A and B are shown apart, each in its own frame.
Chain A
Amino acid sequence: MTGLIELGNLAAVILFILGLKRLSSPATARQGNLFAAAGMGLAIVLALAIPLPDGGDNNYLWILAALALGSVIGIVSSKRVAMTAMPQMVSIFNGLGGACAVAISVVELMKYQTMESVPMGEHVTTLFAMFVGAVAFTGSILAYLKLDGKVNDNKLKIPAPTVVNMTLLAAILAGIAFRTLMPGEPIYWAFVVMGISLIYGVTFVVPIGGADMPVVISLLNALSGVAGALAGVVYDSQVMLVGGILVGASGTILTVLMCEAMNRSLWNVIVGGFGGSTTGAAASGDQTITEISTSDAAILMGYSESVVIVPGYGMAVSKAQNEAHELEKILESRGVRVRYAIHPVAGRMPGHMNVLLAEADVSYDKLLDLEDANNALASTDVAVVIGANDVVNPAAKEDKGSPIYGMPILDILQARQTIVMKRSMRSGYAGIENPLFYHQKNRMLFGDAKDTLSKLVAEVKNLG
């Protein structure tokens, strides 16, 4: 019996592994999530079924009630939450996981009180589980508050955070050591450790900029993984152990990757300070622009129905026409409809874009002139601007004051989403600001058009 259950648990672990594996590639991600979920379901069932070493009176009612309650809350809240608020949600969930770890370790610790001799290894593990769980708990909650803008970086500050944190950390470790070495002492010492841990969770997150919260959450997630693993040791359950470790490990590397993605080191994220500015949204004057990574851009296009490419002088400068054609072809091969919107004055001479695109052997039938383009754009998912500026400047439509007011432009804001590739925020020929860049529908993809495009092509290929 138990042997089979053990096998079942093994199966669950394998499901976790496969799940994670699949979660890391767009084509299989959804499946991966289901795998993991299945594994979890299996593990839970087995946990209910497995015969306990020392009998025990099961209390199935309590458990089932709790599980039911949890499931309902989980489902509902996840349905309710807005797409944009997802990360916050994740962070809360993670916190709860941590809390769960705390709860059970507390019970364990109290149990130890009643035993005459406490196995040292088990004791220390439990204490660590509690510690880690606690940090994950309060940390995640604060992360959530920050993400949700409920707590403002500038409002909530602590002096010399690094010092404070180190001190707290030291205190906690000391506490754990003390507790394990003289388990005879009254239980509340354990709770003191717990208390400090909870505080530490807060002080750990406080100094980190709101924009860096995703990284923090990922880190805390790894922590709660570890907590799970530790608990696994306590209950010597391989599922918990391996599952926890997997999360711990992958969570850690994921955190690192996230930092790399916004080219910073994990360390300078944690000691915080200059969080924010360099990432996500960048401020220029009062308005802010939002950048997008090539791979996100690739997904966006790769999974869209229709894309319109808007070439401009920048494409000419970086001689990116062949790459543009590449992108067109690979998108088409994914069933995306791709066309080019040619503005009559794009470039620096009449027909500039025509010459270049013809050179890249782009079919004439894919070229839309101003009028057709503006009709097509309304039903376009993604409009990709390759080094164009003036010809897509909404000011020509909206801003009576603008020197180009009245000039017909490609109204790409009709598209669901716009991406602008250029090297900087510099202006174009007409030398005027372009509100498009700051529009919330728009994402900036900085860099030389040729490079950016070839990266993009590679990424789209990866979508598989």
Chain B
Amino acid sequence: MTTGPAGQTTKIKLRYFAWVRERVGKAEEEIEAPADIATIAELMAWLSGRGEQYAYAFENPKVIRAAIDRNHVRAEARIEGAGEIAFFPPMTGG
């Protein structure tokens, strides 16, 4: 995540898995988000406003899990300094 030239946006690398990936329509992307987005929950809310597909993917943010730099985090986790943020449904491995 790097802050944009005027300090108003930050570049974030995002990855999506399983049905979050299918709904968003891509596996990964780099976005420019407003610099005042501080947490995973705020990022999900902001992503929801980016269009129909995002609104569908994040319609129930309580069921979406997130990871920052390959570590599970909670919705209230701060995203500052994140290299890669991932969103996915509850895991069903094993």
The reply to whether chain A is a binding partner of chain B is: no
